[in-house]
Structure 1
Amino acid sequence: MNLSTLSIKRPVLAIVMNVTLVLFGIIGYTYLGIREFPSIDPAQVSVRTTYSGANADIIESQITEPLEKAINSIDGIRNLSSSSVQGSSSINIEFNLDKDLEEAANDVRDKVSQAIRSLPDDLDSSPVVSKSDADAQRILSMTVQSDNKNILELSDYAENVIAQRIETIPGVSSVQIWGQRRYAMRLWIDPLKLSSYGLTVSDVQDALLAQNVELPSGKLTGNNTELTVKTIGNLSTEEQFNNIIIMADNDKLVRLSDIGQASLEGENMETKMSDSGQPMVATAVIPQPGTNYLEIADAFYEEYENLKKDLPEGFKLNIVIDDTVFVRRAVTEVAETLLISVILVILVIFVFFRNWSMAMRPLIDIPVSLIATFFVMWLFGYSINVLTLLAIVLATGLVVDDGIVVTENIYKKVEEGMSPIEAAIKGSNEIFFAVISISITLAAVFLPVIFLEGFVGRLFREFGVVLGAAVLISAFVSLSLTPMLNAYLIKPGKQKQTKFYHVTEKYFLQMNKSYAESLRVFMKRKWLSFPILAGCIALIAVFYILLPKETAPYDDRSFIRLSVNAPEGSSYEYMDRLMTDITELINDSVPEKKVSLVLTSPGFGSSSVNSGRAN
């Protein structure tokens, strides 16, 4: 007793098996992330080191080169690049596609730990090793600006209010802040006054470390009470810093105010972000790997409306970047195509069967096969993207093939006078192995894609697996659910034909007659098959050479990014003027622009002041 016979004799079992497939598919779907394309980026690890006050040559020779020498011995490195600028070293390591991200990060950490002993002892901190993947890209960005607040106040609000509320959104990994200037106390020292007292900058630094500290102070214990002593030693105001005692010589005290002054300013004054010339700060949302971008976007917009209600007077919020629009549009278009393909399949079946009950049968077979595919996607850690949805669209026509073959054979035997159950058993048994062989053959065409190496192989791996899984699942559905439905839903006896059947029957008879005649003529000239085959192969080769080749078609997103690097040694003021000129040029040349974001020395990967970016 094969699967088809078992399903016909045990219809409840057949229904339970297929409902189980649907349930597993629905469960898998709820855990799938939604993104535009599969995750295909290679593992990337970065090493960043800061050494305040050191110039680029010292950074290169004492930090970057020792680290590069240690890291170069790691297996699987595809590309290694580094940047040494004033006070900062940055090394980016890109690994081969088959290298696991966690393994790559651990290898880099081990090598960096071994190389630390050869680095300067007075580094600001140990080298920071961080990993990144395809999901570590911003998908949404919101700006905050004000007509009466400075950048420090905007940065503080963005970091302590906006970023913290956005980070509570499920699926958000982190929130970057562009153009940020944190509050910091700057100590401006007059070198002439400093030398007149016989002091050095080290003396100021030692005094600051000694007097700006909060230490444990113990406790006071009495007969009935116990009190904890807290010494408030951290300085917070300009006045407190100005009163720091740098030197005490007999009755003479030298305070910071005698040799300079303390000023509450920005931690980094050499960074700026603006929109059409107006200073601002932007927050960028970084999603967690494998999350649903669309759910994050929906929650982000909801939080955006809540933030607007709670904004302090004078603040303005704007959403300037939303890459999920393209993801939503792509997914929606593919979903619409899927619906159209299902409708076309039903219409084609109706045209040939000329029976609506037979034509509507795929509405049961197709959803079971396609929904169950989501469970396979979840098992392999895939996501819902353009390529996996494209595979499901193509599978719509393939999964219905097996069902049509089974249904047609059963339907023909019912018309010959068999009972529906007998026709279902005999008809499905006749083509049982044919259906299996068809499905395995189709799956064998697509599944080998998983063995492709390189960028293209990673790109189409999900496509091949999803399509192959859908075809194999459809074989199970066609050999279990389809025979059972035909056995109990087809009416016994000769089927009543519709008016459409009688009108079109003569055309189908003529089609069969023409096919039989053309086949008879061709079989008398079998040698023609070889020239025809050779001609087809030649045409394939010609079109392959003539057609342009690219990994993916160009997609116009109405977005332009300019990365600007001024000559080495250019000041921040020069770079700021240059970016202002570029902004004016953009405004004059592209009047239809919606948003113009300009960042001067944004700090994307380095701390150089001779860089900028315009979006």
Structure 2
Amino acid sequence: MQEKTHILDRVSSFSLLLTMIILMIIGAALIPLVDVGSSPKPRQGKTLTISYGWQNASPKVVEQEVTSKIEGLVSAVKGVAEVSSESYFGSGRVTVVLKKEADVSAVKFEISSLLKQVRKKLPEEVSYPELTGGEVVNDGAPQKESPVRHLLTYQVNSNLKGEQIKEYVEKNVEPVVRAWEEVKSVDVTGGTSKYMEITYDPLIVANYGLTVADVEDGIKSFIGKSDIVGDVMYRDEDGEQSRVTLYLKTSRFARQIGEMPLKTVDGKIIYLNDLATFEYRDRLPGSYYRVNGLNTIYMNIVVDADANEIELSRQLRAKIEELKPRLRDGMYLTLTYDAAKEKQSELEKLITRTLMSLAILLVFVWLVRRNWKYLSIIAITLAANVLIAVMAYYVFDMRLHTFSLAGITVSLGLIIDAAIVMVDHYSYYHNRKAFLAILAALLTTIGSLVVVFFMPEYIQRDLYDFSWIIIINLTVALVVALFFVPALVKQFHYSSRMPIKRLGRSKRVMAWTRFYRKYIAFTQKRKWIYYVLLVLAFGIPFHALPDRWDKEKVYYQSEEEEASPWYERAYNATFGTRFFQTELKEPLSKVFGGTMRLFAQSLDENTYAKEEEEMKLHIRAQMPLGGSVHELNEKVQILENFLVGFKEIKRFESRVEWWGANLTVEFKDEYRDTSFPYVLESKVIGKVISIGGADWSTYGVSERGFSNSLNLQYRSNRIEIAGYNYNALYRYAEDICARLKQNHRVMDIIIETPGHERQEDELYMVYTPQNFALYGQSAAAMHGTLRELLSGVDVGRYEDEFIRTDIYLRSLQSDRFNVWDLEHTHVKTSEGDVWLPPFMDMNLREAKNCIPKKNQEYVLRVAFNVLGSYNYTAKYIEEVTDEFNDRFPVGYRCLNNTPNWYQDEGTQYWLILVIVLIIYFMCSILFESFRLPFVIITLIPVSFIGTFLTFYFSGVKFGTGGFASLVLLSGLVVNAGIYIINEYNNQTAACKAQALPRVNLYVKAYNHKIIPVFLTTLSTVLGLVPFLIDGQEEAFWFSFAIGTSGGLLFSILALIFVMPIFMPLKKAASGFAWHTRTASCRTSL
């Protein structure tokens, strides 16, 4: 009976090839439009931030009057998942996290409307709440990573003064650069600016009958004051009325600043010269930035962390080059730093790997077949796959970055696999029956990669785009294999049938076939032996058995163990006994642990390995509490002068801020991989020790780094409490402290604000209200006087034809008035001379400059140290937290928040079982059997043996790349088995009437498919070779390539010797000779 013609065979090969060429041309035309960058495609963020300010307001007042009201409003908005806030001295911030399914634009609009409504209920001194966020962000980035990134640095040289250079750059260059939406800020650093300081004596001001407010108003009137005083009705020429804003501006007084009139008292005009002096002073910067220790002017361009750095850097550099000729004479901009250069280098490296992989694969195809037609078909198929995939990248708006380009490189081998199988099958049988096997094989690979989207975030962020690219490429490969490969085979008139003259040289093949048939027949009779050997080779995980099985990991005998489930009690009575854990566990692990135990010994504690970065020496410094940024800068300058003497250093960058200093040292390429970085670190350590006066630390070169910080304030144990009332919560925290003090092992007890542990001390005053009435004084008058004595104020900006400068007004006594004066001298207020101690009690305490809240709950932390073992500490803390949780009223709770090292619990490994289930159901559909898929699945653990041994003997770190290799292996190693079993099913169906022995049919299917299967496996391994070139410098790709290669090569042995063991091949043969039936079956195909 003649076999039915496939519907695609009725379509001419010319039509199919023409369609393919058109699609390839479209894909080639779209290549310039594909987004190429250094990081994944940004996605819309789900975090909104509301910020506001209230000058000189305490954190408690900000929280009660502003933060709590805004929190209450936004918490009720639909789509809000979490609300947290922080109230600072003079400002506050509310952070809103939205649900995944929330419409960001709609929620943002609703919150904006609510803020407009609540603004009228807030104090007038509060600034209008600003709503930001919801822009595109990279979901894969770590949450604590900065939302901005330093991209470019230009050194600015000119014959102008530093302040004039800064003003010129801010006026002429910054607006041009800020035109890009991704540019967040342009910081011009270096140089010093001047300001005018007016110093007055409060006693002299009071003698003239003036107040400091009179002096401020007089100065503002002199320099010109601009205010919005209200709204007025305005009638235009057409007679229509409208409400407009009335803007009042006073003209400047055209005299010398010393002749500034302040006020008229008793008919006499009081001038500034009568009661104050003024001088120009250099403004001390609040931060310092230097490159290579040079105090020059730098322009730093800071961009969105998720911007396409490579393209944005190119555009900005081109624009600045275009701007340079239009700058004033003597003004030069020199590029000194480009963060995109490293990303560009990494991108070029991956492109090189892709081209190398492509070249290796094509050379391999040529060496195997030595046939130009065969090579041409494979090369055209590969080109068609890539160019048609480009169309998919464009349609789905995908960005090609480092991980997605690596996905293309890996998928090249898989694409060639599908092409080889279809070419070999179609050129031999001239039908498309192999497509079902190709479909199942590639769908299993796709199914294994889909699991990536359900993995923990720290794994998913590396593999998300990598998986999507492979899925797209394999989907395209299916289409090309079905439609275009057969058309190419027809057009090239290619046939894979061997000529008769070559059959005479197949004696070794026939000898192997006879041996293989006998091997399979032998294993079919004694399967249990091989089952036991395979289980022992893979390993029984006795080493992974926990000490006990409880609902929670506690470190003492639970009183409620009797109520635990029967299986927990059974486990604890057997594997959880002291005898098993101490006497039997280790010997059983050594005997039955197999390769899994060896692999576990070489496995890192943490599955996730940080992305390897270029070696840089980072030096950090922090002053003790009370130290200033200027004192720290002096120490940093000493270290900079030391670093300048090393020619091996390419560049070092210094940043000194209020919180501390950070120096980043980059090495020249020729010295980076030598011993110099380690030598320099040791010399730097010696230098910073000699400098002293600060806490110094280093990291980035040696594994352990260095730190001389005693960290005497550190507490290793914490208990956090949360509640809705701050005062009550603080009292509960004090109760916990009192409870902890009862244990003599507990020490260093303190109440902290989480996230703000390092805070300066402050003097606070407790007023005595009855004495105010007794002495006829007021707290407001005393507060105003102290403010004038202790602090200054910015009163505006003075401009004339020669100079533009800020004016700062301060008391002459502000540098001399101290705590002793507060306690022992009289101060002059508007209500007379006053001695302060009878009116207030002064004490020292840690400043609470921030009040955090989460979901409208306040959070405090009781931190302490415990002298004792870890088990004792854990048990004691749990007792305390349970005790107070029972005592707390509704709305308050106590948490054990003792920090611990992160340890990978291995939950993501269970997802491999999901991959196995996906493969099982796909193979069940293809084979129409519930038994044969189990044969396919056995290849997965056997190939894992190869991966385990590879990592054990090579000593390569497992990391995320190793886990990715296990995921990919689960989908790859089954492909070979699918091709052979599918061919076996086809042979069985064709020879059903002749009742051939199943062993013979299996061997026949093996002989037909082993060459293309062997080629596909080797092609995949060769496609990974470029990832091995850089060695362990590229930790992720090296562990991924070596794990996948080891598993694939071992899977060949599993395919040949293990898979037949699980095949149901026991049926007896009929009396006909095998070779005659083979010939008759072949004619029916």
TM-score by length of 1: 0.76
Counterpart secondary structure, 2:148: coil
Task: Give the 3 Å change call, closer, same or farther, for CA 566–515 of structure 1 in structure 2.
Answer: farther
Which is bigger in relative contact order (C-alpha 8 A, separation at least 6)? 1
Contact between 1:139 and 1:324, CA under 8 Å: does it hold in 2?
no
Alpha-carbon offset, residue 21 of structure 1 = 6.1
**How far apart are the structure 2 equivalents of 1:259 and 1:592?**
59
Q: Which residue does the alignment assign to 1:177? A: 187
Does 2:423 match 1:407?
yes
1:202 partner letter: A
What per-residue deviation string (whole Å, max 9, x for no partner) do you get for residues 95-130 of structure 1? 788877667866876786677567643135545645
Whether 1:212 and 2:225 are equivalent positions in the alignment is yes
What is the CA–CA distance in structure 1 between the aligned matches of 2:297 and 2:45, rounded to whole Å? 34
* Counterparts in 2 of 1:491 and 1:570: CA distance versus 1, 3 Å: closer
Q: Using a 3 Å threshold, how does the CA distance of structure 1 residues 546 and 109 change in structure 2: closer, same or farther?
A: farther
Structure whose CA Rg is larger: 2
Amino acid at match of 1:160: K
Aligned partners of 1:142 and 1:508: how far apart in 2?
69
> Are 1:480 and 2:491 an aligned pair?
no
Choose the corresponding residue for 1:392, options 392, 408, 417.
408
Deviations 1:64-102 (A, max 9, x none): 6776777778877679574735x4545666778887766
**Pick aligned residue for 1:143 from 115, 135, 154:** 154
Tell which deviates more after alignment, 304-313 or 385-394.
304-313
1:9-67 Cα deviation digits (max 9, x unpaired): 15235432563366257537614241245659975544444444456776677666776
SS state at 2:440 partner: helix
> 1:382-461 alignment to 2 at 5 Å?
382-413=398-429, 427-461=430-464
Q: Superposed, which structure 2 residues align to 1:596-607 within 5 Å?
A: 596-601=652-657
Q: 1:461 to 1:343 in 2, by over 3 A?
A: same
Q: How do residues 295-334 of structure 1 correspond to structure 2 at under 5 angstroms?
A: 295-306=311-322, 312=328, 317-334=333-350
Runs of 5+ unmatched residues, structure 1: 222-230, 414-426, 602-608
1:351 aligns with 2:364: no
Give the superposition deviation at 1:579.
Answer: 3.6
Is the Cα–Cα contact under 8 Å of residues 45 and 131 in structure 1 kept in the other structure? yes
Q: Report the more deviating stretch, 467-476 or 481-490.
A: 481-490
Gaps in structure 2 of 5+ consecutive residues: 142-146, 238-246, 540-594, 665-1085
In structure 2, what residue type is equivalent to 1:366? L
Q: Distance between the aligned counterparts of 1:285 and 1:106, measured in 2?
A: 28
Tell me the residue number matched to 1:418.
none
Distance in 1, Cα, partners of 2:635 & 2:268: 50
The letter for the 2-side match of 1:163 is E
Aligned to 2:663: 614
Whichever residue aligns with residue 442 of structure 1, its letter is T
**Against the structure 1 CA distance between its residues 342 and 253, is the aligned structure 2 distance closer, same or farther, given a 3 Å change threshold?**
same
Match of 2:30 among 16, 27, 31: 27
Say if 1:376 and 1:48 are closer, same or farther in 2 by CA, change over 3 A: same
* 397 and 76 in structure 1: CA distance in 2 versus 1, 3 angstrom threshold: farther
Is the CA contact 1:148–1:314 (under 8 Å) kept in the aligned structure 2?
A: yes
Task: Give 1:566's match in structure 2, choosing from 613, 623, 628.
Answer: 623
CA contact (8 A) 2:51 2:130 kept: yes
Match of residue 158 from structure 1? 169
Q: How does 1:18-97 map to 2 (within 5 A)?
A: 19-20=22-23, 23=26, 27=30, 30-37=33-40, 43-54=46-57, 82=86, 84=88, 87-89=90-92
Q: Distance in 2 between matches of 1:475 and 1:242?
A: 86
> d(CA) in 2 for partners of 1:268 and 1:60?
32
Change (3 A) 1:521 1:468: same
**Deviation, structure 1 residue 284:** 1.8
**Offset from partner CA, 1:245-270 (integer Å, 9 cap, x none):** 54245864445565557778899842
1:464 equivalenced with 2:467 (yes/no) = yes
Question: Please, which of 629, 636, 649 is the counterpart of residue 593 of structure 1?
Answer: 649
CA contact (8 A) 1:45 1:104 kept: no
1:501-545 Cα deviation digits (max 9, x unpaired): 98xx99887467536633541342142653454255332564255
C-alpha distance in structure 2 between counterparts of 1:351 and 1:329, whole Å:
33
Give the corresponding residue for 1:530. Answer: 531
Q: Which residue of 2 aligns with 1:518?
A: 516
Q: CA deviation at 1:397?
A: 0.8
What is the CA-CA distance between 1:404 and the residue it aligns to? Answer: 1.3
Secondary structure of 2:654's match? Answer: strand
Q: Return closer, same or farther for 1:130/1:477 CA change in 2, 3 Å cut-off.
A: closer
Question: What amino acid is the match of 2:637?
Answer: T
Distance 1:493 1:363, change over 3 A: closer
1:286 equivalent in structure 2: 303
Shift of 1:457: 2.5
Q: Assess if the C-alpha contact under 8 Å between 1:214 and 1:234 holds in 2.
A: no
Alignment of 1:96-107 (within 5 A): none
Residue 367 (structure 1) shift: 2.4
Cα deviation, 1:476-504, whole Å, max 9, x if unaligned, reads 0111111111111226899999xxx98xx
Is the Cα contact below 8 Å between 1:137 and 1:286 reproduced in 2?
Answer: yes
* Rounded Cα–Cα distance in structure 2 between residues aligned with 1:515 and 1:244: 110
Q: Which residue of 1 aligns with 2:602?
A: 546
The Cα of 1:470 is off from its aligned counterpart by 0.8
Per-residue CA deviation, residues 301-344 of structure 1 (Å, 9 max, x unaligned), is: 33454455555566554434423222212221221111122122
Deviation at 1:444, TM superposition (A): 1.7
Q: In 2, distance between residues paired with 1:537 and 1:156?
A: 71
Which secondary structure does the structure 2 equivalent of 1:525 belong to?
A: helix
Contact 1:214 1:233 in 2 (8 A): yes
Q: 2:125 aligns to what SS in structure 1? A: coil
Which moved further from structure 2: 332-341 or 97-106? 97-106
CA gap of 1:533–1:429, structure 2 versus 1, over 3 A, is same
8 Å Cα contact 2:150/2:300 also seen in 1: no
1:335 aligns with 2:345: no
Higher mean alpha-carbon deviation, 123-132 vs 137-146, is at 123-132
CA shift in 2, pair 1:494/1:449, >3 Å = closer
| 1:465–1:325 distance in 2 versus 1, CA, 3 Å | same
Match for residue 376 of structure 2? 360
* Alpha-carbon distance change, 237 to 12 in structure 1, aligned in 2, over 3 angstroms: farther
**d(CA) in 1 for partners of 2:104, 2:641:** 43
